[in-house]
Amino acid sequence: MKEKLTAPELRRQKGGTPLVWLTAYDFPGAQLAEEADVDVILVGDSVGTTVLGYPSTIPVTMDDMVYHAKMVRRGAPHTMMIVDLPFLSYVTPEIALQNAGRLMQEALADGVKLEGGRSILPVIDALVQHEIPVVGHLGLTPQSIHRMGGYRVQARTADAIEALVDDAQVLADHGIIALVLEGIPDRVAQYVTESIPVPTIGIGAGHQTDGQVLVFHDCLGLSSSYPKFAKPFAHVRQAMLEGITQYRREVTERQFPDETHSYHVPDKEWQEFWHRRHPASSSSEPAR
């Protein structure tokens, strides 16, 4: 198992072997991620759409994030864990400090991630000044889904590219330890990666970033549908569906549980019980 990354060590991974990030939302998922030696586990507010059944990340609360992050930490105590600050949890530096503090103290997070560029610099400054490692997030920012009009690829015009590059440079200057780039063209992501001194982590941003992150359910084929950038590396959903279908069939046909999967009482003990309850019966075995 790898040594747990620290914030300074993460920054020093810039330009090295690509970093492997994976989301996780519970104890068994975190265990699997740690056993597979991923570099960083991200407890994303994507828990809203992948686990909680919401249509977007907007309804996810701080209590949700703390609850799931605590499970992940118990499952992966030796892996760096970054936790998302959810919608409206960092509208002011004071609110951001309070909520980030909860994640650090209650869930033992190693850092927090938040979406946005220059407009949230006061929040980032406050977190950094209070020794909380911060990961930025630019491009397709799911908490802005209503403003963006849906999950759409960003930075496709010269003006939008310039704004994103400027945001990335400013965030890096203000002390973030890494930057997630989501849903942007590969050339834009490569340019940002080459322009800033902190690692970039891509999701739908091509292969030239300093690392990649995938949603747990997309990585393992647990989702019912996938965005263009997601590749299932296993087909767990199909295997689970087949298993549940087989379980239903064997139960309805009385094939399960069979003798192997049942507990048994010794014949002597059963006979003694039977005669106690039915002393007048000549039968030594009740009807089955």
Cα distance between residue 97 and residue 99, in whole Å? 6
45 is in an annotated binding site: yes
In the numeric block, which tokens belong to residue 88? Answer: 């409206």
Facing residues of 201 across strands?
Answer: 180, 211
**Beta carbons of 76 and 33 less than 8 angstroms apart:** yes
Closest CA to 200 of 276, 262, 138, 146: 138
4 is in an annotated binding site: no
Query: DSSP 3-state assignment of 43?
Result: strand
225 is in an annotated binding site: no
115 is in an annotated binding site: yes
Q: What torsion do the CA atoms of 90, 94, 95, 99 make, to the nearest 10 degrees? A: 90
Q: Please list the active-site residues.
A: 182
**Beta carbons of 8 and 175 less than 8 angstroms apart:** no
26 is in an annotated binding site: no
In the numeric block, which tokens belong to residue 74? Answer: 């118990």
- Write out the binding residues for Mg(2+): 45, 84, 115
Bind-site residues: 45-46, 84, 113, 115
* Annotated binding residues for 3-methyl-2-oxobutanoate: 45-46, 84, 113
